Amino acid sequence: MAADSATKARIRAVPDTAKLFIALGAAAGALGVVLGAFGAHALKARLAPELLATYQTAVQYHLWHALALVAIGLVAIHLPVSAPLKWAGWLMVAGIVLFSGSLYVLALSGVRSLGAITPFGGAALIAAWLALAYAVLRA
């Protein structure tokens, strides 16, 4: 029983920011796996090769940046009040949604004009990585 309360105390000691970004990263990772499996099994025979490649790019960036969100959450355990780290996390979320999201929709719909959104997502991902580096170097 004492170990159980000690474990609960340690879990409560994890900053909310860390919990949030770890949970968002885990959820994004799970969604990335689901979308990747959907692409590999349901879309392979239905999409043109160039659209399937676009979809696969979306999945790859989605999964890599889901891991980055988990990493931001782990760093937040040590830097719980870092504003640049919070910016990194939210920019990473925005980047996944805008970059991968626009590529998913483009691949599924074939509407090329949606590609105009993708660079904004890419810029958010780049800014997130730079904010993460700044947060760590500033600590």
- Please state, in angstroms and rounded to a whole number, the distance separating the CA atoms of residues 18 and 8: 16
Q: Please report whether residue 121 resides in a domain.
A: yes
Confidence of residue 85 (pLDDT cuts 50, 70, 90): very high
Provide the pLDDT for residue 5. Answer: 74
Q: Please report whether residue 7 resides in a domain.
A: no
Report, in this order, helix, strand and coil percent for the chain, each rounded to 5: 90, 0, 10
The range of the structural domain enclosing residue 83 comes to 16-138
Q: Please report whether residue 101 resides in a domain.
A: yes
Mean pLDDT for 104-122 is 95
Per-residue pLDDT tens digits for 1-24: 556 777 666 667 899 999 999 999
Q: Please report whether residue 6 resides in a domain.
A: no
Q: How many domains does the chain have?
A: 1
